[in-house]
């Protein structure tokens, strides 16, 4: 059994990071929204909240602040992915 989100996340993460680097607010909002939805699908509420905040503030908040939120979101998400991987190994 696999979780498609875990396999797809690295690509989405890279695109969001590039959008943050480029200051492309529309892409920031789009990729944050996409990841937020995926996290909602798997019940990862804390990570979802971070990406929701990035999405909501993408058009009107300093990109440095959005990048800082992304770091927090990424840390939370890596923990979530580790839990899912651990569950897969033991099932």
Q: Where are the domains of the chain?
A: 4-89
* 82 burial level (CB within 10 Å; 0-12, 13-18, 19+): exposed
DSSP 71-91: HHHHHHHHHHHHHHHHHHHT-
Question: For the whole model, what pTM was predicted?
Answer: 0.88
- For 13, 14, 31, 40, 59, the CA distances from 24, given in Å and listed in that order, are 14, 13, 11, 24, 9
- In tens, the pLDDT along 28-77 reads 999 999 999 999 888 889 999 999 999 999 999 999 999 999 999 999 99
Nearest to 19 by CA among 55, 73, 72: 55
């Amino acid at each position: 059994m696999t979780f498609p989100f875990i396999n797809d996340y690295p690509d989405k993460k890279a695109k969001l990071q590039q959008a943050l680097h480029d200051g492309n607010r529309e892409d920031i909002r789009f990729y944050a929204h996409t990841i937020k939805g995926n996290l909602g699908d798997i019940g990862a509420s804390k990570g979802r909240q971070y990406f929701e905040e990035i999405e909501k503030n993408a058009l009107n908040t300093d990109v440095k602040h959005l990048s800082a939120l992304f770091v927090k979101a990424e840390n939370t998400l890596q923990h979530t992915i580790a839990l899912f991987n651990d569950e897969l190994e033991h099932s």
